[in-house]
């Protein structure tokens, strides 16, 4: 097939959540013999330079440049409109023109869109089967943000979330198939009652790259991994350090916490002033920090879809203590593959249990990695995606014949 693939973040190198899922799809399509042309956005010359590494994995790629001041202006211009401001942020006239040119110059067998923010470029295209991979339902995340922000920011997030919800419903009706990352996200999408055909396929993890290390772990070190300019990660770590960290240090005064992730805000950097806490900022490779940890914590209160940080830690044989909302995005059983806790006391108790019981830590480490190999392998996820696409294109062909 000749596939036109659109995504909101340029999918190379696959270093963050918004890039990992699309990159693995693109790589799989190309390895399966399909011709894939990638269309996405670039935010800097450095990203453009790095992005050229996508070339071996696709037939071609096109991009549109976006710059922060102009994109913010496009967001503000949409405030009085029903169009979500975030869709203004992800709009590039340059990319729109390139997409139109590609549609006019080639015959396409499938249009695949990852993330609703870039569905706007092809939503009105007809005569070609179209799949929209929502991944996560972004409207629900914005509406959740409103509960954590003071007024008037809470009002702004509620407004944007409501606009996104309306847009998600409208877009779902314009595509032949809509997919999500987890069963729960699909249920949310089905709850919109749009009549759209839906399915889901999970995120995978490169279990060869994210493999256990050979060196022993440090029994007095725990870690958190994630971009620290991302609000759910910031909220998680601020709350953890305020409520859980004092309980842990009271029991284990030598305990160390590594907060590892790019672009920490000033508030996140201040956490490094706490006894035993290190905020690293950007690092070339997160794996050494995770592997040296007795466990990774991920007690997120705001979490949609799958948290790749959890998959990666489990694949490295590092036990995870997380929240029920974050665990819901992982195909694993609480208590058997990872530990789940939702308040400060329970989180501290789970962490202390693993620190005090090396055999229980070893059991969870082995069970967690085995679960990643069996349920979150990219090969398994992509096989599911192949079946989803085959069903979509077959239904489209049948419908076309009936209406011919």
**Per-residue pLDDT, 18:** 86
Centroid of chain to Cα 187: 18
pLDDT at 77 over 90: no
Band (pLDDT 50/70/90 cuts) for residue 91 is: very high
Q: Read off the pLDDT of each residue in 83-105 and give the average, rounded to a whole number.
A: 93
Give the pair of three-digit tokens for residue 315.
């694949």
Give the pair of three-digit tokens for residue 253.
């005064």
CB 340 within 8 A of CB 363: no
The C-alpha atoms of residue 298 and residue 359 are separated, in whole angstroms, by 21
Q: What is the pLDDT of residues 328-341, one digit of tens each?
A: 999 999 999 999 99
Band (pLDDT 50/70/90 cuts) for residue 255 is: very high
**Per-residue pLDDT, 351:** 98
CB 354 within 8 A of CB 295: yes
pLDDT at 250 over 80: yes
**Per-residue pLDDT, 174:** 97
Comparison of pLDDT for 237 and 88, the residue scoring more: 237
**Per-residue pLDDT, 253:** 98
**Per-residue pLDDT, 287:** 96
pLDDT at 71 over 80: no
Give the pair of three-digit tokens for residue 225.
């991994």
Q: What is the pLDDT of residues 260-299, one digit of tens each?
A: 999 999 999 999 999 999 999 999 999 999 999 999 999 9
Q: Which residues pair with 279 in a beta bridge?
A: 259
Band (pLDDT 50/70/90 cuts) for residue 119 is: very high
**Per-residue pLDDT, 15:** 85
The C-alpha atoms of residue 281 and residue 304 are separated, in whole angstroms, by 24
**Per-residue pLDDT, 314:** 98
**What is the rounded average pLDDT for all residues in the chain?**
94
pLDDT at 402 over 90: no
Highest mean pLDDT among 143-147, 150-154, 233-237: 233-237
**Per-residue pLDDT, 70:** 76
Q: For tokens 């407004």, what's the residue?
A: 159
pLDDT at 69 over 80: no
Among the residue ranges 38-42, 71-75, 93-97, 185-189, the one predicted with the least confidence is 71-75
Tell me the pTM. 0.91
pLDDT at 82 over 90: no
The proportion of the chain whose per-residue pLDDT surpasses 90, expressed as a percent, equals 84
**Structural domains of the chain, ranges and CATH numbers in brackets:** 2-204+378-402 (3.40.50.2000), 218-375 (3.40.50.2000)
Bond prior to 152 in cis (omega within 30° of 0)? yes
Question: Residue 76 has what DSSP assignment?
Answer: H
The C-alpha atoms of residue 9 and residue 257 are separated, in whole angstroms, by 31
**Per-residue pLDDT, 271:** 98
111 closest CA partner among 127, 95, 125, 130: 130
**Per-residue pLDDT, 89:** 87
Q: What is the pLDDT of residues 169-227, one digit of tens each?
A: 999 999 999 999 999 999 999 999 999 999 999 999 999 999 998 899 999 999 999 99
Q: Read off the pLDDT of each residue in 7-16 and give the average, rounded to a whole number.
A: 92
User: What is the dihedral angle through the alpha carbons of 301, 307, 312, 313, rounded to the nearest 10 degrees?
Assistant: 10
The C-alpha atoms of residue 140 and residue 164 are separated, in whole angstroms, by 9
**Per-residue pLDDT, 233:** 96
**Per-residue pLDDT, 75:** 77
pLDDT at 76 over 80: no
């Amino acid at each position: 097939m000749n596939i036109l693939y659109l995504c909101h973040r340029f999918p190379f190198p696959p270093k963050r959540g918004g890039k990992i899922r699309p990159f693995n799809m693109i790589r799989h399509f190309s390895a399966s013999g399909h011709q894939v042309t990638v269309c996405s956005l670039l935010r800097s010359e450095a990203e453009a330079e790095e992005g050229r590494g996508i070339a071996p994995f696709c037939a071609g790629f096109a991009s549109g440049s976006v710059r922060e001041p102009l994109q913010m202006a496009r967001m503000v211009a949409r405030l009085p409109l029903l169009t979500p401001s975030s869709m203004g942020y992800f709009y590039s006239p340059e990319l729109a023109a390139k997409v139109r040119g590609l549609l006019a110059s080639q015959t396409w067998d499938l249009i695949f869109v990852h993330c609703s923010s870039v569905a706007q470029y092809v939503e009105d295209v007809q005569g070609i089967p179209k799949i929209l991979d929502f991944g996560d339902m972004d409207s629900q995340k914005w509406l959740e943000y409103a509960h954590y922000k003071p007024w008037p920011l809470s009002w702004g997030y509620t407004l944007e979330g409501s606009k996104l919800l309306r847009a998600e419903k409208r877009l779902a009706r314009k595509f032949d198939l809509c997919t999500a990352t987890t069963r729960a996200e699909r249920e949310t999408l089905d709850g919109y009652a749009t009549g759209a055909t839906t399915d889901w396929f999970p995120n995978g993890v490169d279990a060869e790259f994210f493999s256990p290390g050979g060196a022993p772990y440090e029994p007095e070190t725990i870690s958190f991994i994630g971009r620290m300019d991302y609000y759910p990660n910031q909220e998680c770590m601020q709350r953890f350090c305020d409520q859980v960290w004092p309980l842990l240090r009271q029991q284990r005064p030598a305990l160390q916490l590594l907060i590892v992730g790019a672009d920490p805000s000033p508030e996140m950097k201040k956490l490094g002033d706490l006894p035993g806490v290190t905020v690293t900022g950007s690092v070339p490779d997160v794996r050494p920090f995770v592997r040296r940890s007795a466990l990774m914590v991920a007690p997120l209160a705001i979490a949609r879809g799958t948290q790749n940080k959890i998959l990666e830690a489990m694949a490295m044989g590092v036990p995870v203590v997380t929240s029920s909302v974050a665990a819901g995005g992982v195909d694993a059983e609480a208590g058997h593959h990872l530990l789940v806790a939702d308040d400060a006391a329970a989180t501290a108790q789970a962490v202390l249990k693993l620190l005090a019981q090396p055999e229980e830590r070893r059991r969870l480490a082995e069970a967690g990695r085995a679960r990643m190999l069996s349920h979150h392998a990219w090969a398994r996820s992509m096989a599911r995606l192949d079946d989803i696409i085959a069903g979509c294109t077959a239904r489209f062909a049948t419908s076309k014949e009936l209406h011919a």
